[in-house]
A and B are shown apart, each in its own frame.
Chain A
Amino acid sequence: MSAQIPEVQSVEELLEKWKQPEVITGSEILLRSLVLEGVDTVFGYPGGAVLYIYDALHNFKEFKHILTRHEQGAIHAADGYARASGKAGVCIATSGPGATNLVTGIATAFMDSVPLVVITGNVFSSLIGTDAFQEADITGITMPITKHSYLVRDVEDLPRVIHEAFHIANTGRKGPVLIDIPKDVSAAKTLFAPVNTVNLRGYNPRLVPNKLQLEKLVRAIAVAERPVIIAGGGVIYSGAHEAMYEFVKRTQIPITTTLLGLGAVPSADDLWMGMPGMHGTYTANNAIQECDLLINIGARFDDRVTGKLNGFAPKAKIVHIDIDPAEIGKNVKPDIPIVGDVKTVLEMLNPDVSRTAKADAWRTQIAQWKMDKPLRYNDSESELKPQWVIEMINETTKGEAIVTTDVGQHQMWAAQYYKFNHPRSWITSGGLGTMGFGFPAAIGAQMAYPERLVVSINGDGGMQMCSQELAICAINNIPVKIVVINNEVLGMVRQWQTLIYNKRYSYTDLAGSPDFVKLAEAYGVKGLRATNKEEASAAWKEALETPGPVLVEFLVPKNENVYPMVVQGATIDQMLMGDEE
């Protein structure tokens, strides 16, 4: 920061001070604007095009900057921070390779509607378009995977652009916004005047739903004999979990939550049926197929949920509640479309709905399905079963931890066997299914909640996609408990090969993986290993009792499959239950 700024004590004082006009560089404008947006943590990686920004960051104390070991680690961490806290995650990368390393993370956040503000440097304005050293058209590359993006050509625009970016990222259907700043713009000086108004003519997310449609829904609920709710990530993102739970309790309608909706209602509730879809429960999938009223609240009818579309919920009148009008009718045409913020919608509905006695037989049927076909696996005393490991983690953390997962079988087992008490405690890459996401996302979540227990559940494959971030756990003492469910294969892909490709195991064997305990230790993180139940309990206990980051590797058999499973192209009641094994 420039020398003429005197020492100030608190962020409040700084905010007061920064409302005063002052001539400073674009880089300083950026940092001050981030503080004004309430940013307390930024994840990033420097390079030539962001050198002015990093120069301004030197000794900048108003927020934390975490230097990751890969830009992919930075953006997934920002994403995990956002999913855990509900605030926009922020990350910074340099131009060209730095920026392109963010692409997977931007797409991950975009698919799951996670608010991010992504700042990239670019080459000097005069060099843009000349294939200059480390130039990449990052706004062009990321156009399909951002909610909006800016290439800032004039330092004067920076305060407005940054404020708009946070506004866009965090309102309506949330999502990542990219700000590309050429090097000369971050160096240029101008009079800094903070902006706290937005004027975006084309952008007015509709929060309040149409009353007539709500009335239709109230009537439909009153006459339904077999109603079902599918709740998705939208319930959590709009902070609607309490209104959601009230709605469920008032109506007594059985509810299934999608992968991103887990935690929207407590798992312990009798009306909760588990997850629907490809690895959904027998109860949830049958309930959807048999229901006469399907109320989708903040979920987008993803194909992993619907299975074969033609044949999905064939008997149901369909209601779709979503903040994004474009989701309505995109995959499934609803009978009652409701555009609005899920929380607003539910709060408006709640006074007018009540328990439908007509659905008593239905609730009995659902209880019966649950009893007949609960989630189950064949436990073993000689081997450590991955499902058992998840159950153990569940028992010791009692639904109070923040759990992140990577992508694969362990993710589905965690979704199935972990029990949820709270929203924003389950962080997983749903829409894009990004391996390498889980561990850095846990670091971000832990930064948002330094005091909470954060457990990161990974496969041995995905753990190797961002394992370099062990370094930042070690040096910043970020106490994530890292679980590696090691089946020595790319389990989920191998499962498909088992069931669909005649056991032709083409390149899913992970021979040559590192010794994960030694890998952790190499970075200065404690490593533990377990091969049976006894060791597992002991190692996990030790991990929980050890302050700071710990990696625990659980060696599990490679032949275990995730059930139920709906094979692609089938309707969701056509489930493989795994009974034949």
Chain B
Amino acid sequence: MVMKHTIAVLVNDQPGVLQRVSGLFGRRGFNIESITVGQSEEVGLSRMVIVTLGDQNTLEQIEKQLYKLIDVIKVVDLGSKPMVARELALIKVKSEPAERPEIMGVVETFRASVVDIGSTSMLVQVVGDTQKIDAMIELLKPYGIKELSRTGVTAMIRGNA
């Protein structure tokens, strides 16, 4: 069964490591829905969070193939455990002054925030899981989205694990 999987990959912070990982996905025909990279808790190591689509076998192969990369230290399938997954989006939405209260209503319902206002547009920032951001975008579409930028998912296991 094809499912969405979120995996966290701890890697050596070496030049080219992103290319190694993304290249591996490309040439082995694995899908990348989103990929985020940043510092980890340890100096010299970065954490990548990759959202991918595939069945259980594909997920197993992805993990095994990742482990073959010398710069990969640890691979965790976050989906197998309770996790917190978050994404941030900035949405520049058209808004004549008359429409602003309505848009503010949407923003408040989603506990998003307005981080900039222009004469005919507003810049909305929203943080949440992917579904929440999808929903928010759907609601803002009718006003006219001028620009949209999403970060992709970063994630972590809940609790002390």
Residues of A within 8 A of B61 (CB): 326, 329-330
A144 an interface residue at 8 Å Cβ cutoff?
Answer: yes
Of the candidates A148, A200, A201, A330, the one having the most CB atoms from chain B within 10 angstroms of its own CB is: A201
Query: Measured between C-beta atoms, what is the minimum distance from A28 to chain B in Å?
Result: 26
| Shortest beta-carbon distance from A46 to chain B in Å | 27
Say yes or no for B127: interface residue by CB 8 A criterion. no
CB-nearest residue of chain A to B11? A202
Per the bound structure, the CA–CA distance linking A143 and B19 in Å amounts to 9
What residues on B are CB-neighbors of A574 within 8 Å?
A: none
Q: Is the CB of A202 within 8 A of B71?
A: yes
With A140-B16, A202-B12: A148-B70 Cβ-Cβ less than 8 Å: yes
* B143 is an interface residue with CB less than 8 A from chain A: no
B20, B23, B27, B57, most chain A CB atoms within 10 A? B20
Asked, given contacts A140-B16, A329-B57, whether A147 binds B70 with beta carbons under 8 Å apart, the answer is: yes
Chain B residues positioned under 8 Å from A326 (CB to CB): 61, 64-65, 67-68
Cα distance A173–B64 in the bound complex, in angstroms: 13
A168 contacts B by Cβ under 8 Å: yes
Interface status of A548 (Cβ within 8 A of chain B): no
Is there a chain B Cβ closer than 8 Å to A509's Cβ? Answer: no
With the chains together, A203 CA to B12 CA distance in Å? 12
**Which chain B residue shows the least CB distance to A339?**
B64
* Total number of residue pairs linking A and B with CB closer than 8 Å: 45
Quick check: is A325 within 8 A (CB to CB) of the other chain? yes
Q: Given the complex of chains A and B, what is the CA–CA distance between A329 and B67 in angstroms? A: 15
Tell me, yes or no, whether A67 is within 8 Å of chain B by CB: no
Which A residues from 304 to 356 make CB contacts under 8 A with B? 324-326, 328-330, 333
A394 on interface, CB distance cutoff 8 Å: no
B104 CB within 8 Å of chain A: no
Whether A168 contacts B70 by the Cβ 8 Å rule is yes
Interface flags for B81-93 (1: CB within 8 Å of A; 0: not) read 0000000000000
Mark each residue of chain B from 56 to 74: 1 if its CB lies under 8 Å from any CB of chain A, else 0: 0100110011011111111
| B interface size (C-beta, 8 A) | 21
Determine if A397 is an interface residue (Cβ-Cβ < 8 Å).
no
Bound-state CA distance A144–B20 (Å) is 8
Residues of B within 8 A of A173 (CB): 68
The answer to whether B64 and A325 touch across the interface, beta carbons within 8 angstroms, is yes
Give A140 to B26 CA distance when docked, in angstroms.
14
B142 sits at the interface (CB 8 A): no
B16 in contact with A144 (CB, 8 Å)? no
For A201, the closest partner residue in chain B by CB is: B73
> Is A544 at the interface (CB under 8 A from chain B)?
no
For A78-103 the 0/1 string (1 means CB < 8 A from B) is 00000000000000000000000000
For residue A328, which residues in chain B have a CB less than 8 angstroms away from its CB? 64
B38 within 8 A of A: no
Number of interface residues of A (CB under 8 A): 20
> Is the CB–CB distance between A203 and B23 below 8 Å?
no
With A143-B23, A202-B72, A330-B61 already in contact, the answer to whether A151 and B67 are too (CB < 8 A) is no
Cβ distance A136 to chain B, nearest Cβ, rounded Å:
15
Most B Cβ at <10 Å: residue of A147, A151, A326, A330: A326
Cα of A200 to Cα of B23 in the assembled complex, Å: 22
With both beta carbons as reference points, the residue of chain A lying nearest to B26 in the complex is identified as: A144
B88 to chain A, nearest CB (A): 29
Report the Cα distance A127→B132, complex, angstroms. Answer: 47
Residue pair A325, B67 in contact (C-beta under 8 Å):
yes
Q: Are B64 and A202 in contact (CB under 8 A)?
A: no
Interface string of A144-167 (1 = CB under 8 A from B): 100110010000000000000000
A143 and B20 contact, CB distance less than 8 A: yes
Contacts of B15 in A (CB 8 A): 151
Interface residues in B1-48 by Cβ distance below 8 A to A read 11-12, 15-16, 19-20, 23, 27
Distance to closest chain A CB from B13 (angstroms): 12
Contacts of B68 in A (CB 8 A): 147, 173, 324, 326
Interface residues of A in 199-247 (CB under 8 A from B): 200-203
Q: Is A497 an interface residue (CB 8 A)?
A: no
Cβ A202 vs Cβ B27 within 8 A: no
Please give the distance in Å from A329's CB to the nearest CB on chain B. Answer: 6
Q: Is the CB of A202 within 8 A of B73?
A: yes
Q: Give the complex CA separation of A554 and B68 in angstroms.
A: 45
- Chain A residues lying within 8 Å of B19, measured Cβ to Cβ, are 140, 143
- For A203, give its contact among B27, B65, B70 (CB under 8 Å): B70
CB-CB under 8 A from A144, the residues of chain B are: 23, 27
| A139 interface residue (CB < 8 Å to B) | yes
Most buried by B among A147, A201, A202, A326: A202
Point out the residues of chain A lying under 8 angstroms from B65, CB to CB: 326
**Within 8 Å CB of A151, what residues of B?**
15-16
Docked complex Cα distance between A392 and B49 (Å): 60
A143–B27 alpha-carbon span in the complex (Å): 11
**Residue in chain A with minimal CB distance to B60:** A329
> In the assembled complex, how far is the CB of residue B47 from the closest CB belonging to chain A, in whole angstroms?
13
B14 → chain A, closest Cβ, in Å? Answer: 9
Please, which residues of chain A bring their CB within 8 A of the CB of B57? 329, 333
Contact A200 B67 (CB under 8 A): no
Q: With A139-B16, A330-B61 as given contacts, are A202 and B70 in contact (CB-CB < 8 Å)?
A: yes
Residues of B with C-beta under 8 A to A147: 68, 70
Nearest-CB residue, chain B, relative to A173 = B68
Distance between Cα atoms of A326 and B65 in the complex (Å): 6
Closest beta carbon of chain A to B149's beta carbon, Å: 27
Chain A residues whose C-beta falls within 8 Å of the C-beta of B74 in the assembled complex: 202
A143 proximity list for chain B (CB < 8 A)? 16, 19-20, 23
Task: Find chain A residues with CB under 8 A from B23 CB.
Answer: 143-144
Contact with B along A259-274 (1 / 0, CB 8 A): 0000000000000000
Query: In the assembled complex, how far is the CB of residue A11 from the closest CB belonging to chain B, in whole angstroms?
Result: 30
Task: Tell me if A202 and B60 are in contact (CB < 8 A).
Answer: no
Minimal Cβ-Cβ distance residue in B for A202: B73
Restricting to A546-571, which residues have a CB under 8 Å from any CB of B?
none
Closest 3 CB pairs of A and B: A326-B64, A202-B73, A148-B70
Q: Can you list 14 residue pairs at the A/B interface with Cβ under 8 Å? A: A139-B16, A143-B19, A148-B69, A151-B16, A200-B70, A201-B12, A201-B73, A202-B11, A202-B69, A202-B73, A324-B68, A326-B61, A326-B65, A330-B61
Q: Given A148-B70, A201-B73, A202-B69, output 13 extra A-B contacts at Cβ < 8 Å.
A: A139-B16, A140-B16, A140-B19, A143-B20, A151-B15, A168-B70, A202-B11, A202-B12, A202-B67, A202-B74, A203-B70, A325-B67, A330-B61
